[in-house]
Amino acid sequence: MKITSKGYLSLLRTLILAMLYTLTPSLIEKGKVYIAETPLYEITTKNKTFFAFSESEKIKISSKLKSKYTLQRSKGLGENDPDMMWKTTMNPDTRRLIQVMPQDREQTKKKFDLLLGDNLQGRKEFIKNSGYQYLELADMS
Topology (CATH) of 36-99: Dna Ligase; domain 1 (3.30.1490)
pLDDT at res. 88: 83
Length, in residues, of the chain: 141
SS3 of residue 25 by DSSP: helix
DSSP conformation class of 88: I
Model confidence at 64: pLDDT above 90: yes
Instruction: Report pLDDT digits (tens) over 74-109.
Output: 866 667 778 888 888 888 888 899 999 888 888 888
Question: CATH 3.30.1490.440 region(s) of the chain?
Answer: 36-99
pLDDT at res. 112: 83
Pairing relationship of beta strands 96-99 and 49-52 according to DSSP bridges: unpaired
